[in-house]
Structure 1
Amino acid sequence: MELRHLRYFVAVAESLSFTAAAERLGVSQPPLSQQIRDLEAELGTPLLWRTSRRVALTPAGTAFLDRARAILAQVEEACAQARAVGAGRTGTLDIGLTGSILAGPLGRLIRRFGERYPAVSVRLHEMPPGEQPAALHARRTDLGFLRRPPDDPELRAVRAWPETVGVALPAGHRLAARDRIALQDLRDEPYVSLRLRDSRFATSLWDACLAAGFVPRLTQQVVESASLVNLVAAGLGVALVPESIGALPRPDIVYRPLADPAPVADVCALYKAPATPVAENFLALMREELGPP
């Protein structure tokens, strides 16, 4: 038994005319009649009474009609669901990120995405940058957001939005009176950093200090930027942070931009090719809202 047998039977049962059913289905009448006979033979019972003047349902046909309609409706629902998933209009979007990334425009993008695709459930997974590639490879996440993508040929990275790097200083610090601070001016300052083994971004900032001619006096390493600024507020050191972190209002911290040439903190969207349909839709919205990479 095939779906066309059900469609043909329902068309005949609803019109009670082989001629009208054939026109409705866009087929000729002889093949339609043969398909109904084949269906009755497979079921082992007549579904229709036929005379030269009329067609009527048998009791078995009446019972079969209800089930046939239900089966066809379920098939159509399954097809519609598959099309929606394939187009990224429904399903789940899993995003890996560090908490500090949410200080930028990502939260607004997620809200706009939810407005455009209300049937897609967005799930956020906070994790260190070093764990994001493995999550993408395992398809536990569809997208990752981080500041220094890994050198991985199986992962694709596109710039999501640009950010510069500045200096977070304790309130009252001697350098706070300056409009801009040169990286070399931090030579003798105690330095707090994101954990170097977890963050390629933290490593790039360390390398920038080396290029400026000094080795940072590293005092503490932490996993999250929120912990980083708390250490700065406590007077344990200065920190190089993205501008989105520096823009967060805190009376116990002063943020100053770096003088050129300054390192950048551009945020990249990372995904495993091919991107899932929901990820493709999110990336398209990101380009629409923030401009091309």
Structure 2
Amino acid sequence: MDTRHVHYFLAVCKHLHFTKAAQELGISQPTLSQQIRVLEDELGAALFDRIGKKTILTEAGKLLLIYSKKMLEAEHDAKEAIKQLLVGGGGTIRLSVLPSDLDFQLVPLFVRFHEYFPATQLQAISSLTIHEDILENKADLGIGLIRHEDSRLLQIPLRSEPYELIVSRAHPLAEKKQISLQDIKDLPIVMYPRGFLGRELVEKACREQGFQLTTVMETTTASSLLQLTRANIGATIQPQGLLCQSADRHEYVVLPITDYPPIRHLSLIYRSDRFIGTAQKQLTAWLIEYFEQL
């Protein structure tokens, strides 16, 4: 089966519209229709039904959709493996990372990676759906929370770290050394919106203690939350290692939570059936070493 036909097929699956798919592919709609017919003739089955103005997948089309993604993944892996063999580098590594970790913690490691592998492009992607990114081939590696076992994935534990309260030096709690979770009960908090993994972990710990967070402002990046904290809009609750690489970390006071702190368990995640080149193996080793030293 010609992989070009597979790309054409996937484009039609994406849009369920031949004209839009043809525009994305940069070919004419009649050419696309002809190539899909060639693929259908080869397989001996119709892949799409045209019902009025709607295009839908047939049962044969649904089956091909599953296997065509695997075919393209195998093609990608083969090309990457040969490229690694011939030139010892090159290619692209896609790393899916939780937003808070991408903001501060990993940039020094990215610099180190580029120094050793200048020919390899590293794409660091901020995401809330790490496991899904890996399974759907949107990323090669991921740093996310440990979840239930999945035979398709390898999950290497990186670090378990508690969440702590971060306040400005002008905050009323700045003179304290530590706090209890109950001390947060009526505290003005700046935090991620609901749906963010860090927010959900903190909310769960608070609910178990019989209260909810009082958020006065919500943003989607750790850097903006810290700026709001520094301006004394409110305190924020973040993982223990967040401020390690922040240039202005001395402007904040970090207060450990002594009882029932929210804890996150980070893991390095990748597909168990994917080719891993030299650069990705080294990046994996550095990531494990980096989190061990935090």
TM-score (norm 1): 0.60
- 1:89 shift after superposition: 4.2
Going from structure 1 to structure 2, the CA distance change for 1:202 and 1:157 (only over 3 Å counts) comes to farther
Which residue number corresponds to residue 244 of structure 1? 241
Give the drift of 1:210.
1.6
Which deviations, in whole Å up to 9, do the C-alpha atoms of 1:109-154 show, x marking residues without a partner? 33443444444221222x3313x334323323111223x3455734
1:193 pairs, out of 191, 194, 197, with: 191
1:200–1:103 Cα change, 3 Å? closer
Two-structure CA RMSD over aligned residues (Å): 3.4
The 5 A counterparts of 1:122-161 are 122-125=122-125, 127-130=126-129, 132-146=130-144, 148-149=145-146, 151=148, 153=150, 154-161=152-159
Alignment gaps of 5+ in structure 1: 1-77
Rg larger in structure: 1
Q: How many residues align?
A: 211
Q: Measure, in 2, the Cα distance between the counterparts of 1:237 and 1:123.
A: 33
Percent of aligned positions with the same letter in both sequences? Answer: 22
Alignment partner of 1:120 is 2:117: no
Sort the Cα spacing of 1:219 and 1:155 in 2 relative to 1 into closer, same or farther, 3 A.
farther
For residues 116 and 162 of structure 1, do their structure 2 counterparts lie closer, same or farther at Cα, with a shift above 3 Å needed?
farther
Structure-to-structure mapping, 1:198-237, within 5 angstroms: 199-237=196-234
Residue by residue over 1:77-113, the C-alpha shift from the partner in whole angstroms, topping out at 9 and shown as x without a partner, is x999717259974421111224531466533433443
Cα pair distance change 1:87/1:203, threshold 3 Å:
farther
Cα gap change, 1:215 to 1:100, in 2 (>3 Å): closer
Q: Secondary structure at the match of 1:129?
A: coil
Kindly tell me: are residues 289 and 210 of structure 1, through their superposed partners in 2, closer, same or farther at Cα, counting changes over 3 Å?
closer
Q: 1:178 aligns with which of 173, 176, 179?
A: 176
Which residues of structure 2 form unaligned runs of 5+? 1-77
Instruction: Report the Cα distance in structure 2 between the residues aligned to 1:166 and 1:152, rounded to whole angstroms.
Output: 28
1:14 matched residue in structure 2: none
Residue 82 and residue 161 in structure 1: after superposition, are their counterparts in 2 closer, same or farther (change >3 A)? same
Alignment match, 2:257: 258
Residues 249-279 of structure 1: per-residue CA shift (max 9 Å, x gap): 2565432222244222443222233244133
TM-score, normalised via structure 2 length: 0.59
- SS of the equivalent of 1:176 reads coil
